[in-house]
Amino acid sequence: MKLEKLGLTVIALSLAIGGGMPNMSYAMESKKQALIDVNYHIITPFWNSISDISPDISAEGTTVYSEVYVKAKSSSGSISGTMYLEKYTSSRWTTVTSWSLKGTGSAFASKSYRGTLGTEYRTRVVVTVDGERAEAISGTLGI
């Protein structure tokens, strides 16, 4: 009994200080958490002219909805850009279609696209606000 307890303590101590086998479920959780963080804008860049860029993607059946909201820091800020719907194929992201985006102070675009089952999609936006260029990408969505 004392030997079993000692063996268990050594294994626990070994794992606690980084020895032993890697924890594969932690790596998977960490990757999933990173995707969640991107979707909820945990990391926010510092912009001079841009207050917010929020790309989003959702689906209902095989219809994919791509949306983006852009807000300038100034109510007279000039906004122009392109919203892209992209799909993951052959180990890379390719553009399926795109739409232009324009506004003053803020801009919103919402478009739909008939997707293909078994495909992953994302929304990407490239925008310029009062001369400041930025790019933002939504999380991924599989249908």
pLDDT in tens, the chain (143 residues): 444 444 444 444 444 444 444 433 333 333 333 344 445 555 667 899 999 999 999 999 999 999 999 999 999 999 999 999 999 999 999 999 999 999 999 999 999 999 999 999 999 999 999 999 999 999 999 99
Number of domains in the chain: 2
In a domain, 41, yes or no: no
Considering the domain architecture, whether residues 83 and 138 belong to the same structural domain is answered as yes
pTM of the model: 0.69
Containing structural domain, residue 13: 2-36
Q: Can you tell me the distance from the alpha carbon of 134 to that of 136, in angstroms, rounded to the nearest whole number?
A: 7
The pair of three-digit structure tokens given for residue 39, joined into one six-digit string: 């979707």
Report DSSP state, residue 139. -
